Structure 1
Amino acid sequence: MTRPPLSVLDLVPVSAGSDVRAALEATYAAVRLAEESGYHRYWFAEHHNSPTFASSATSLLIEHALAMTSTLRIGSGGVMLPNHAPLTIAEQFGTLVQLHGDRVDLGLGRAPGTDPMTARLLRRGASDAQSFADQIFELQAWFGSGDSPRGVSSIVAAGTEVPIWVLGSTVNGASIAGQLGLPFAVASHFAPDELYEALSVYRHAFSTESPTARRETPYAMVGVSVLVADTDAEAEFQYSTHVQMSIGNATGERQPLQPPRADLPHDAGWRAAQGMLTCRAVGSPATVRRVLDELVAATAADELIVVSYAHDPQVRLRSLQLLSELWM
């Protein structure tokens, strides 16, 4: 069977007992492997004020990844647009294209990617659907002619035509993506509850009439958490690191990635984490291939984007390698 392209989402996770520099080194080892193994894209997500993730300066992470690759598409999954002045994003991503050519994606979300206090420090602006759509329209103008509807020009963004994606996990985000005629990335790897409804809404709402539309047909990317190991038992054991991280997110007790453990208590935090992790493929290569094939059949996904967490970076690299071998 023909399988859809496979991409990677990275939040630069920091492991307990390690530090940010080591997390960055592990991320760029994964970038090298992704290019060598035939992955389609490598995206970085924006997060702030978290002991778990070091993916705060998204455009800087992207630039370094572009500089060390030649074929892999690199982008944001995503930039939380209300945290930034749109002109700044246009100039950052336009400059990336000027330096590295047409391999840059701009995935945009509306969530803060942080707590309320940090959002205020970021000078977060309006995040309603209309403001979001207006800002995308203005970004596309800068990436096109270089002139916004308000008469402000950007010479570095002009003509770069950076592809814009809408990110979301709900039917609201799906509706926005469809009405704007843009590709849609579903954050089902951590918020799976509305996955199927969101995909249906996106495809039904998709319009080529919007001034922001850049596609003739819908294009949906589905997020999935993945851990591949030699056996199902080993994969489940290593995946307990991801489960512990999700428990921390559910309870508000966030911390660096913890070592795997086989004795996690099945308490309220564990149950909440299980609800966040239903879109997952964990196991041996045969198991993961079967689960991903079933996910593609159920969603008609045009592309899959995987997120993988492991306390030991070598476990993550091994998972990405095994995944590429079973899928491509």
Structure 2
Amino acid sequence: MSETRVPLSILDLVPVSEGMSVSTALDESVALARLADGLGYRRYWYAEHHNVPTFASSATSLLIGRAAENTARIRLGSGGVMLPNHSPLMVAEYYGTLAEMYGDRIDLGLGRAPGTDPRTAAALRRGTAAADTFVEDVVELQRHLGEGTGQITAMPGQGTNVPLWILGSSLDGATVAAALGLPYVFASHFAPAARHAAIRRYRESFSTDYVTAEIDVPYVMAGVNVLVAPTDEEARRLFTTAGQLAAGIATGRRGPLAPPVDDLAEVIGPDALRFVEDFQQVRAVGSPETAVARLEEIVADLGVDELIITTYTFDPALRARSVELLAEAWGLDRAE
């Protein structure tokens, strides 16, 4: 990889296209993880979502385990586990088990949102009220993965020291990550508005004073919407699938990924189009040359240490092609 370019990672929500079975979506996901492993991507993370027909990524630890069985060098992790939905002990046991099975290739990204609607959050047992204990839960989780709490042993888990990351889409997450001395991931791929302020706060407020600190200096990864095709024109057309996905978020009409269209504005309407353009403004869409140039601009603009990309195509084969074209253009280190 070029010394001037930051590592690239992949965020997968296991998208389900119209007419596709969930089992097929799961198979396509593990195939992409295997491809990314060979291409030299740094990490392959899964994001926890619930009650959304677009995604099949509710059980992140199971997805990570399957991906780990089919890869050799790429780091696998959560981007993230929505901690309000789970007890810290259970998360420690799940991810400790993964670490014992697959060694030092497991990351544990943590979010404070429920990753779903309020009704579903309530059905996930812990409910939305647990968000108020996020910092305490992170501290407890880290203790379970480290020396233990003294009263309860996470087994497996204790002593694995699975590295923690804090996810965020606002200044709150940046403040927490900085105070805890943990690496920070900003969700600029869907919440771009606060990206500059949040990353600046994290870097300026970063401290190693608290017991949870795992790194000596700030480390930031940012999410980017990416779609690479042989030409700019084809990439822009294929990206209309992601545009329709974003429009569904705006209107509350969520469904499987739709095929690309020639005129996105005609399909979703001008109001939704304005939302989509803002929602997906942190993006690199085009030919390999166009996408690389845009990614380099994003790195320079945000001053990040790593990028994590998310790609949606109706045809999963074109998602794999996008990942491969970008790896070659970015100069990632392929496996021998």
Q: Fold match, TM over 0.5?
A: yes
State the SS of the aligned residue for 1:91.
Answer: helix
Q: Find the residue that maps to 1:193 and give its secondary structure.
A: helix
Q: For the Cα contact (< 8 Å) 2:84–2:131, is it kept in 1?
A: no
Q: Which residue of 1 aligns with 2:230?
A: 230
Partner of 1:287: 290
- 1:269 paired with 2:304, answer no
Indicate the residue corresponding to 1:148 in structure 2: 149
Aligned to 2:61: 59
Q: Is the 8 A contact 2:236 2:286 kept in 1?
A: yes
Match of 1:101 in 2: 103
Equivalence for 1:25: 27
Q: How far apart in 2 are the matches of 1:68 and 1:263?
A: 39
1:300 aligns to 2:303 (yes or no):
yes
In structure 1, the partner of 2:220 is 220
Task: Name the amino acid aligned to 1:309.
Answer: Y
Report runs of 4+ in structure 1 exceeding 6 Å deviation.
none
Instruction: Tell me how far apart the structure 2 counterparts of residues 83 and 307 of structure 1 sit (CA, whole Å).
Output: 23
* Per-residue deviation, 1:120: 0.7
CA distance in 2: counterparts of 1:210 and 1:291, whole angstroms: 37
Equivalent-residue separation in structure 1 for 2:131 and 2:53 (angstroms): 28
Structure 1 residues 174-200: Cα deviation after superposition (integer angstroms, max 9, x where no partner): 111111110000110111111111100
Match of 2:316 in 1: 313
Structure 2 residue ranges without an equivalent (≥5): 332-336
- 2:260/2:314 contact within 8 Å kept: yes
Q: What is the CA–CA distance in structure 2 between the aligned matches of 1:135 and 1:274, rounded to whole Å?
A: 36
Match of 2:192, SS state, is coil
Q: Percent identity?
A: 52
1:124 Cα deviation (Å)?
2.6
Q: Secondary structure at the match of 2:208?
A: coil
Count matched residues: 325
TM-fit CA distance, 1:127: 4.2
Deviation of the 1:153 alpha carbon? 1.4
Partner in structure 1 of residue 334 of structure 2: none
Matched, 1:246 2:246: yes
Alpha-carbon RMSD: 1.0
User: What is the DSSP-based 3-state SS (H/G/I as helix, E as strand, rest coil) of the residue aligned with 1:262?
Assistant: coil
Per the TM alignment, residue 155 of structure 1 is displaced from its structure 2 partner at its CA by 2.8
The equivalent residue for 2:158 is 158
Counting only pairs closer than 5 Å after superposition, residues 75-86 of structure 1 correspond to structure 2 as 75-86=77-88
User: What is aligned with 2:208?
Assistant: 208
- Comparing 133-142 and 9-18, the one that deviates more: 133-142
How far the C-alpha of 1:34 sits from its partner, in A, is 0.2
Return the offset for 1:128.
4.2
- Which amino acid letter does the alignment assign opposite residue 173 of structure 1? G
* CA distance in 1 between partners of 2:242 and 2:305 (Å): 26
Shift of 1:321: 0.2
**Could you tell me whether the CA contact under 8 Å between 2:65 and 2:98 is conserved in 1?**
yes
Q: Indicate the SS of the match to 2:10.
A: strand
Please say if residues 113 and 131 of structure 2, whose CA atoms lie closer than 8 Å, have aligned partners that are also in contact.
no
CA deviation string 1:94-147 (max 9, x = no partner): 000111111000000011111111111101343446x211111111111111x2
Cα distance in 2 between the residues matched to 1:11 and 1:124: 22
- Residue 73 (structure 1) aligned to one of 46, 62, 75: 75
Contact 2:206 2:218 in 1 (8 A): yes
Map 1:106-117; keep pairs closer than 5 Å: 106-117=108-119
Q: Distance between the aligned counterparts of 2:107 and 2:304, measured in 1? A: 19
Give the Cα separation in 2 of the matches to 1:196 and 1:25.
37
| d(CA) in 2 for partners of 1:327, 1:101 | 28
How far apart are the structure 2 equivalents of 1:127 and 1:4? 35
SS of the counterpart of 2:255?
coil
Q: Which amino acid aligns with 1:148?
A: T
Amino acid at match of 1:255: G
Q: Which runs of 5+ in 1 are unaligned?
A: none
The normalised TM-score by structure 1 is: 0.97
The alignment partner of 1:95 has SS state of helix
